[in-house]
A and B are shown apart, each in its own frame.
Chain A
Amino acid sequence: MIRFENVSKVYDPNIVGLDGVNVHIDRGEFCFLVGHSGSGKSTFIRLLLKEFEPTKGSITVAGRNLQRMRRAALPHHRRSIGCVFQDFKLLPNKSVADNVAYALRVTGQPARSIRRKVPEILQLVGLGDKMNNLPDELSAGEQQRVSVARAFVNHPSLLVADEPTGNLDPDTSVGIMQLLYRINRTGTTVLMATHDREMVDKMRKRVIALEDGKVIRDEDKGLYR
């Protein structure tokens, strides 16, 4: 599903984001990306989304080599990946339902199927009764669920989450974690960058640890440490 081969990313002027990373994640895996602040987790995820190019190395996602991908194919690449961020990244002037619908609209889905799928997925994340609220009117946990709903409504084969629980209290975090776990159970590969030691230790999933841009540990059923 994801293959990083000797990937390095050096930011201007000379800041190391990633340094010679080799990682291979299989279809359907659930995988944590851990490390101190500044260790390169977000860099890893943004490279996956092709927000920028690696300085060195090659990245393959779902069989597509990102360096050889044409610009016109980029939107399709992004649609095949659901993403969730620490700051939710919801459109503030749109209702919860419209926010989720947006991810379907960009794919050119007909209005009828949008009207069907949006309530369905919002029900699934437990927000069936808040569809017409604006994001501002929701709690942080609820907003993050909207964002998870938006990431999953297209049923992507890969879902990446960059510290999705970073802004949430422990109980709410568990709720989000459960959602991601359920999504993983449908066969979706999930990659989650996190600081949340407790969560990682409880889940006992694959853990990839970064430090100064290098992979220092990669183990199945691992711990945060």
Chain B
Amino acid sequence: MRFRFFFGEAIDSLVRNWVMSLAGIVTVLVSMFVLGIGTFVFFNVQRAASGVTQKLEIEVFIKNAASQDEINKLGDEIRAMPEVRDMNFVSKDEAMNRLRDSMKGHEDVLQALSGNPLPASYEIFLKDTNQTQEVASRFYDNPAVDNSAITNTARDPIKLAGGLSASATTMTVTAGGGSQLAKDLYIRVDHEIMRVTDNPVGDKISIARGLFGTTADTHADGAGVYSTDGVKTGGKTTERVNMVANYTLIGGSGFVVLLAVASVLLISNTIRLSIFARRREVEIMRLVGATNWFIRWPFVIEGIATGLLGATGAVILVIIVQNSIVNMIKQQLTFLGAEAVPTFWLLLAIIGGGMLLGSVGSALALRRFLKI
């Protein structure tokens, strides 16, 4: 009965101050709408990012000299790492088969190879792509691992726009496309791999040709540059997607916070006005012995109701907008594929958020303007 009375008082005041109430409701609506749509965008960018993640791997090359025991032990270690989602052993034969597949039409190049120069390897898939470097670095000092071959994109070497050019004495690696070579990188020509450390950061590096032993030739298909620290190398979809996801999150959160602050202030102003409009009533309430909370409750409910009404409007709008975007993408941008955020969570977040804004707004007004 008490609640019904407070509720009635709150609604009464809401209706009597309807212009201000409406302003409060609309701000909550806008900020919760942005929150909802932001969640939708972020949800989908994340989804896209995790799709890319599946393709990403660390490939740990095993020394030819490693014993079966060492290989097994390395496999167990990898399996035990909490960051690892999945792993896969690629034997020397398997590696050769893959190379053959990728070189259809150029089989003659392979003819030149004596035996199988390819190392066996473990392919590692991670749960979180941000951890690639960190996990990869653990293998640098492993005795079973062919240190010169660790890479996080072994099967998808960075294709340099500038590529590789050779003169009689030097080879020049050019990044091109505006990207820069990393400080620490591996250069592979055919299957000879060379590590270049402390490379002065720039888009070009020259190496004495003699360093590449005997066969180095620049037309070979496998020419490429591997980076271990991965900074500023072009063409890394994963990092890009991650970056986009992170920026959406940061930018979106910032915007939502801004709008939330605006809503709180507006609601607090609404409540302030309704306190002001009822200051005589409040005085009378005190005289007849109303407790502080008896006086406060209607104002608190008024604030929460404002938040709730705005949030309800936002939920309806978000569901409509979200579904029409999803439908549009399904029809016109089929390759993208979008998905609506599960409605239940969306509802919960928005309604909860709206009520929170409402109660914070009224609490603020009560603290400042209802001195009891």
Contacts and interface: CB of A to CB of B under 8 A. Distances in A.
Contact of A78 (B2, B5, B287): B287
Looking at chain B's contact residues, the main secondary structure is: helix
B325 interface: no
B286 interface: yes
Contacts of A83: 287
A118 to B, nearest CB: 14
Nearest to A109: B1
Interface in A137-154: 150
Interface string A90-110: 111100000000110111101
A67 to B, nearest CB: 19
A106 B2 contact: no
Contacts of B291: 75, 106
A76 B288 CA distance: 9
Interface string A193-219: 000000000000000000000000000
A182 B1 CA distance: 33
A150 B288 contact: yes
A106 B287 contact: no
| Number of chain A interface residues as a range | 20 to 34
A151 to B, nearest CB: 8
Contacts of B288: 78-79, 102-103, 106, 150
A89 interface: yes
Contact of A75 (B12, B16, B283, B289): B289
A122 interface: no
Contacts of A110: 1
A117 interface: no
Contacts of B12: 93
B284 interface: yes
A176 B213 CA distance: 118
A77 interface: yes
15 contacts: A75-B290, A75-B294, A76-B289, A79-B289, A91-B281, A93-B281, A103-B288, A105-B294, A106-B285, A106-B288, A106-B289, A106-B290, A107-B289, A108-B2, A111-B1
Interface of A: 49, 75-80, 83, 89-93, 102-103, 105-108, 110-111, 150
Report the 8 A-B pairs with minimum CB-CB distance, sorted nearest first.
Answer: A79-B289, A78-B289, A106-B290, A75-B289, A75-B291, A103-B288, A111-B1, A89-B284
